[in-house]
Amino acid sequence: MNIIFYLICYLSFLMLLGVFIRSKIKIFQELFIPASVIGGIIGLILGPEILGYYFNIEFFPKLWLKELALLPGILIIPILASIPLGLNFKNKNNKSGLRDVSIMGAIMFIVTFSQIALGYIINFIFKNIFNYNIYPTFGIELNTGFAGGHGTAGMIGRILKDMNMEYWELAQGIATTIATFGLIGGITLGIFLINRASRNGETTLLSKPSLIPMELKRGYHTDIEKQSSLGRETMLSSSVDTLAFHISIIFVVCGASYIILNFIKLHKIPVLSSFSVWAFAMVLMFLVWKIIKFLKLEWCIDVKVKSKISSSLTEFAVVAAITTMPLKAIFSYIFPIGVMILFGFIFTWTIIRFLSYKYFKNNYAFERAIAMLGTSLGVFLTGLLLLRICDPDFSSPVLGDYSLGFSLTALMGPVLMITCIGLSIQYGALIPVFLNLFLIVITVIFIKIISYKFSII
């Protein structure tokens, strides 16, 4: 137990160091690199892969590194379990709003399917044409790193570790590497595209490239009046702290999920025995949220508070994932990783731009495209950042459509990931490719039906 405490202290130190460096060094501000990523890179430098290897300096025991590598896979459980809590898809009452949400969600699904298919195609090419010794699931990291981000990289490690795959740490490290390139590249590419689009008159609200507020670059407001609230106090402290109440719900669900999974494995129930604990946690949280709504207790849940909890856990998961990246093993895959990242960028923007301009003509097409690009290469907040540059006051309907569309992919993405991992291990890389190509066709048909249906109403 003491090791866990020491690890949290160490990760907290790296996090604060990242905050300080981000606030002082301009290049990190211009690239909007999160403090957790900076802290993780510092932890990687201080670890045995760099200073420990070249200078024989040990800043912490090697035993810590093994525990740190497990941490992202552990933290991803409450992060994913929290997603259904407070979820509400009934914000759109008008039919045009429902159309826009459905199509934005469908486009992000197509990007997800395309990234997974592309990753496995590269797996097949390098293994069968270039004779690379590639592990069976290589390729799933493209979507996990790009659309999932650093926090979700721990999911790869968790799934493969549960399957007793010895390369789980390497896969987690590759996903983290791709997430880093996706985050930095997504912001850089996004800002370049915004400037170009504004000069070409493609932006609806932005007449010329605007100056990004300094507070956004530094990552904090010094003016107390401008600082946002963390959320509603749904509970009175005389009974229980609101934050503790929300944390308790999330972790009770996680604990119950472990009990269910252990029961299933004890009785060797087919199919269900191969599922990861986070899958049960998400399903169970859906049921818990349904019960809360049935009992008319929605007032006790604040989505903003819940999001802050999952965001906090994600920050620690990011620091731990980057700190424990197995650099030597990753460098042996540097060529296929580079190819995957390069084509991932090209395919992602090409698909998003084409579909957005096709189905959202004269309806904030570029703003929708840039928001989807941000989340498809980084995380939800990356898309939010790029959208804010185009739409500083969020006066367009894009934010609401984007948020609800993203929620759909956030729920289905993990299920698709574990399905593709299982298929690639059992049948090879091409089966997940065919599955995702089939899903792309189905989703395109869905978009055409939705578009046609609302055009005649």
Query: What DSSP line would sit under 77-98, residue for residue?
Result: HHHHHTTTTT-------SHHHH
**Does the global pTM surpass 0.85?**
no
Among 175, 173, 167, residue whose Cα is nearest residue 69: 173
Mean residue pLDDT of the chain comes to: 87
Q: How many CB atoms lie within 10 A of CB 379?
A: 27
Please list the alpha-helical segments (H only) found in 360-397: 365-377, 380-390
Residue 99 belongs to what domain range? 2-210+239-455
Rounded Cα gap, residues 241 and 307, in angstroms: 16
pLDDT in tens, 169-199: 999 999 999 998 998 888 889 989 988 888 8
Please choose, from the candidates 363, 252, 229, the residue with its C-alpha nearest in 3D space to the C-alpha of residue 305.
229
Residue 63 predicted with pLDDT over 80: no
> Which comes out higher in pLDDT, residue 86 or 368?
368
Query: In the predicted model, is pLDDT for residue 209 greater than 70?
Result: no
When pLDDT is averaged across residues 124-134 and rounded to a whole number, the result is: 93
280-312: pLDDT as tens digits:
898 899 999 999 999 999 999 998 899 899 889
242 falls in which pLDDT band (50, 70, 90)?
very high
Q: Is 333 part of a structural domain of the chain?
A: yes
What's the Cα-to-Cα distance from 289 to each of 192, 250, 300, 303, rounded to whole Å? 41, 11, 11, 12
Nearest CA to 77 out of 1, 158, 138 is that of 158
Structure tokens at 357: 């301009």
Task: In whole angstroms, give the CA distance from residue 196 to residue 274.
Answer: 48
Q: Is residue 37 part of a domain?
A: yes
User: In the structure encoding, which two tokens stand for residue 107, read together?
Assistant: 């486009």
Q: Which of 323-327, 380-384, 420-424 has the highest average model confidence (pLDDT)? A: 420-424
Q: What share of the chain is helix, strand, coil (3-state, %, to 5)?
A: 75, 0, 25
Q: What is the pLDDT confidence band of residue 122, given thresholds at 50, 70 and 90?
A: very high
Stretch among 121-130, 202-211, 253-262 having the lowest mean pLDDT: 202-211
- pLDDT higher than 60, residue 202: yes
Distance in angstroms (rounded) separating the CA atoms of residues 171 and 452: 42
What average pLDDT does this structure show over 259-265? 91
**186, part of any domain:** yes
Answer yes or no: is 35 within a domain: yes
Domain count, the chain: 1
| Residue 275, pLDDT score | 74
Would you say residue 231 lies in a domain?
no
Residue whose tokens read 């002082």 = 24
Mean pLDDT of 89-98: 60
Contact 285, 122 (CB under 8 A): no
The pLDDT score that the predictor gives to residue 95 is 59
Per-residue tokens: 190: 């996004």
User: pLDDT-derived band of residue 338, with 50, 70 and 90 as boundaries?
Assistant: very high
- When pLDDT is averaged across residues 393-420 and rounded to a whole number, the result is 82
Provide the pLDDT for residue 211: 53
Q: 130 or 31, which is more confident?
A: 130
Report the distance separating Cα 67 and Cα 135, nearest Å. Answer: 24
What tens digit of pLDDT does each residue of 359-386 get? 998 889 999 999 999 999 987 778 888 8
Per-residue pLDDT at 457 exceeds 70: no
- Higher-confidence position of 409 and 176: 176
Q: Is residue 390 part of a domain?
A: yes
End-to-end Cα distance, the chain: 61
> Residues 420-429: what's their mean pLDDT?
94
- Angle, vertex CA 59, rays to CA 56 and CA 65, nearest 5: 95
- Could you tell me if residue 33 is inside a domain? yes
Residue with tokens 């946002």: 228
Amino acid at 257: S
Taking Cα atoms as reference points, which of 257, 243, 240 lies closest to residue 301?
243
Q: What is the largest CA-CA distance in the chain?
A: 71
Mean pLDDT of 425-449: 96
How many CB atoms lie under 10 A from the CB of residue 62? 10
